[in-house]
Amino acid sequence: MTQPLIRRLCVIGVGLIGGSLARALKQAGEVGEVVGSGRNEDNLQAAVRLGVVDRYDIDATRAVVDADVVMLAVPLGAMATVLRDIAPYLSPDAVLTDAGSAKGSVVADVKRVYGVIPPNFVPGHPIAGTERSGVEASFATLFQHRRVILTPLAETAADAHRLIRRMWELTGAEVVDMGVRHHDAVLAATSHLPHMLAYTLVDTLARLDDRAEIFRYAAGGFRDFTHIASSDPRMWHDICVANREQLLEMIALFSADLSRLAEAIRNDDREAILAIFQRAKRARDNLYLD
């Protein structure tokens, strides 16, 4: 019998991401025990019933005791509180990691609680998810062929970094390293901005007088386009706050480009309109083969 990679894993926030990680590691036989924690006891009971965690403790300060790895899979807005709560109870060797969609804010929260960046802290972000949430939505293969971005810091211990990398690789993910600011810029562009556009579009239409009629004629393209507007509002509120600066920068860039397109349409500037559409089509077609 070989030892599992992680003897005891504590997952705080056993939702889609935390639950899927626990499932994947259990399926790989690479975790001895999984302890869950979180605010919602019904959800934690479901997690036990579904076999996602072996046991839970609603009190995170007890749940983290003697864990080798503590995964913070809570909303970004809850990170600071949870970090402050658990800090005194982590075992000295415990590796702390997270799954937050923005990394600068989590790093700042950690620094605020610890005064320094602890060597055993490895910030991470699995680029995966669906519009569903909660442990019932979790599944072991969520991370297969998905990317997980780690943003280790100068202070991060090589051992801790290696352990978290290995943990994610066991879920079938491709793990890459990136700087904190760079991560937040890339995600602002590819994920945070598109979510703002989808939410705004649906909200703009939902406030029109003939919204019922309008939504009746929304066809396939609209469905795909607005899919991400079904995401969890609270989670996305937190992301807006956590990555405010870079998100606002991207919204400003986009708004300026949209104004330019509107101007070209107003002036029937055929060349300008075609140039935008052709550039975009080329970029999109090069990106995917669908």
Residue 118 CB-density burial (10 A; 0-12 exposed, 13-18 middle, 19+ buried): buried
Interface map 93-112 toward a second copy (x if CB under 8 A): --------------------
H/E stretch holding 36:
strand 31-37
Question: What does the DSSP 8-state code read for residue 140?
Answer: T
- Show contacts with a second copy in window 129-158 (CB under 8 A): 146-147, 149
Minimum CB–partner distance for residue 126 and a second copy (Å): 10
Q: Is 229 exposed, middle or buried (0-12, 13-18, 19+ CB in 10 A)?
A: buried
Answer yes or no whether residue 279 interacts with a second copy by CB under 8 A: yes
Q: Which residue bears the tokens 């965690």?
A: 53
If one asks whether residue 261 binds a second copy (CB under 8 A), the answer comes out as: yes
Q: Both tokens of residue 19?
A: 């639950």
The least CB distance from residue 252 to a second copy, in Å, is 7
In this chain, which of 52, 128, 142, 175 binds a second copy, going by CB under 8 A?
A: 128
| Phi, psi values for residue 172, rounded to 5° | 95, 5
Instruction: Using DSSP bridges, classify how beta strands 147-150 and 124-127 pair: parallel, antiparallel or unpaired.
Output: antiparallel
Q: Pick the stretch among 16-24, 115-123, 157-165, 227-235 that binds a second copy (CB under 8 A).
A: 227-235
* Residue 242 engages a second copy in binding (rule: CB under 8 A): no
- Residue placing its CB nearer to a second copy in the complex, 36 or 123: 123
First to last CA, the chain: 45
Q: For CA atoms 241, 194, 236, 110, give the dihedral sign.
A: negative
- The 182-221 contact track toward a second copy, x by CB under 8 A, reads x--xxx-xxx-xxxxxxxxxxxxxxxx-xx-xxx-xxx-x
The yes or no reply on residue 181 touching a second copy (CB under 8 A) is no
Question: Which member of 91, 141, 144, 255 binds a second copy (CB under 8 A)?
Answer: 255
Q: Which is nearer to a second copy, 155 or 285 (CB)?
A: 285
- The reply on whether position 278 binds a second copy by CB under 8 A is yes
| CA–CA distance, 171 with 153 (Å, rounded to integer) | 23
Contact code string over 41-80 relative to a second copy, x by CB under 8 A: ----------------------------------------
Amino acid letter, 142: L
Question: Residue 175: beta bridge partners?
Answer: 148
Which residue's CB is nearer to a second copy, number 58 or number 265?
265
* Residue whose C-alpha is closest to residue 54's, from 121, 7, 122: 7
Q: Is 287 in the site for a second copy (CB under 8 A)?
A: yes
